[in-house]
Amino acid sequence: MTRKERVKKAVQHIQTDIVPYSISLTIPAYEKMKIYYNDPYFLEKIGNHIVHISRKEPEQDPDLTKKGFYIDDFGVVWNRTVDKDIGIPYNYPVNEKNVETYPFPDPFAEEYYKHIPSSLQKYSDCFIQASIGFSFFERSWTLVGMEKVLISFVENPSFIETLFDRLTDWLIAVVRKFGEYPEIDAIRFGDDWGQQNGLIMGTPYWRKYIKPRLAKIYSEVKKYGKYVSIHSCGDIQEILPDLIEIGLDIFNPFQPEVMDVHKMKERYGDRLTFFGGISLQKTLSFGTPEDVRKEVLDRIERIGKGGGYIAAPCHDITGDVPEENIDILIKTLQSQ
């Protein structure tokens, strides 16, 4: 059974020989483990089942990069002087005056996709997710600012609906482009809606502004016979039935700090595949290697039973996690 086949079986809620897994690290964690293993290519050797591919990032100004800044293809400048993986927006280019005309990147431009065929060939035995980070709600606040998005839900609905409709059309176009590649198994949308307790914008506003547009986007994914996958941090358990209703297949990061992972499996495990579930905020960061080993085995045995689970930390592993904990995480997953 290839890694691709194993993940597909898991998503179909069929028990597999081992529980599929995927581990990702932030830049500081990677640099630390590269030294620990004395191997810059260790990630290629740990047996990850899932590979993410995405549209090619735009060419950067070397001088700007040296200063710790990055410009994405929507024209948002990111300050990465502290957070080197993502950063924080340095500008908000969209407002009421230009919301209908502000130029979005061409969703079909070949320059964004020309690297994909070689990646598909290299990782042909893996489950491939085409990843669209900062896809919808996240993309909106990178363009106009978080406060303005939330205030507009209440005070300026026409503004936020115009922006959301444009983003919906853009995302559907990107889905269609990714749909041209039969080797891609799922489309992954990165869109954090949650905080430690509940949704950032509250459930009523999520259902009013976001859910109907996601339904259109997810429907487009299904037309190409691909799975819908999301990454949405925080406590979003109250909308899991809504997401299942509109076609969600894979939910990540499945944080045990904000939801009871065993109850979630009991309630939704026959309709949803959980991807994550290993504590980063607590066990990996502050536990012992034995604590990590026990938690990984618990997730494999209890959440992985009957399929519907991809084992992983509940986020990219951060630089404060001890090397020994990362090592035992990898070894426990490999030794199934």
Give the pair of three-digit tokens for residue 196.
């430690």
Q: Per the structure, how many domains does the chain have?
A: 1
Q: Is residue 56 in some structural domain?
A: no
pLDDT at 260: 97
Task: Tell me which residue of 257, 260, 266, 335 sits closest to 305, measured CA to CA.
Answer: 266
| Range(s) of the domain holding residue 234 | 3-51+96-334
Q: Does residue 247 surpass a pLDDT of 90? A: yes
Q: Is residue 57 in some structural domain?
A: no
pLDDT at 188: 98
pLDDT (tens digit, 9 = 90+) per residue, 122-178? 999 999 999 999 999 999 999 999 999 999 999 999 999 999 999 999 999 999 999
Q: Is residue 81 in some structural domain?
A: no
Q: Is residue 87 in some structural domain?
A: no
pLDDT (tens digit, 9 = 90+) per residue, 267-295? 999 999 999 999 999 999 999 999 999 99
Judged by DSSP in three states, 143 sits in helix
Q: Is residue 88 in some structural domain?
A: no
pLDDT at 58: 83
pLDDT (tens digit, 9 = 90+) per residue, 182-232? 999 999 999 999 999 999 999 999 999 999 999 999 999 999 999 999 999
Q: Residue 44: which CATH number?
A: 3.20.20.210
Specify whether the CB–CB gap between 183 and 120 falls below 8 A. yes
Please report which confidence band the pLDDT of residue 84 belongs to, taking 50, 70 and 90 as the band edges.
Answer: confident
Please report which confidence band the pLDDT of residue 28 belongs to, taking 50, 70 and 90 as the band edges.
Answer: very high
Q: Is residue 79 in some structural domain?
A: no
Q: Is residue 213 in some structural domain?
A: yes
Specify whether the CB–CB gap between 43 and 25 falls below 8 A. yes
What is the pTM for the complete model shown?
A: 0.95
Cα dihedral sign for 3, 180, 44, 255? negative
Q: Does residue 73 surpass a pLDDT of 90? A: yes
Helices (H), 53-126: 62-66, 116-122
